[in-house]
Amino acid sequence: MGVAHRRVDRLVVITVTGEVDAVTAPHLSAAIDEATAGSSAGVIVDLSDVHFLASAGLGVLITTHDQMAPSARFGVVADGPATRRPITVLGLDDIITLYRTLEDAVADMGDA
């Protein structure tokens, strides 16, 4: 698994690649904590290049959502069957805002 982050205006974009499973999920969590240590209007986790998302990874997304400041927004880019499907099957899309592309997420969340 690889994780990189960058800022787009007041948003933090965290790009994840590879597999997010029980072994790599703690690394993702630490990377998110590090990337979000400063203030931001929101966080986008881009799973476009993730080809396996286990329950441990889903847990990281829920924890990140729950730890966000009330004024900050949180979104996840997930369009493939390995990422979007587990999120929607479990009903997590009722809690987490999903986007099909990074561009959609930045356009929507950047306006807030």
Q: Which tens digit of pLDDT belongs to each residue from 87-108? A: 999 999 999 999 999 999 999 9
Considering just the CA atoms, what is the radius of gyration of the chain in Å?
12
Whole-Å CA distances, 17 to 25, 53, 67, 72, 89: 12, 10, 23, 24, 22
Collapse the DSSP code of 41 into the 3-class scheme (helix H, G, I; strand E, B; otherwise coil) and give the result. Answer: coil
pLDDT digits (tens, 9 = 90+) for 31-55: 999 888 876 789 999 999 999 999 9
**Looking at domain 2-110, which CATH architecture does it have?**
2-Layer Sandwich (3.30)
* Residue spans per domain, the chain: 2-110
DSSP states of 63-88: HHHHHS-TT-EEEEE--STTTHHHHH
Q: Are 82 and 49 in contact (CB under 8 A)?
A: no
- Whole-prediction pTM: 0.94
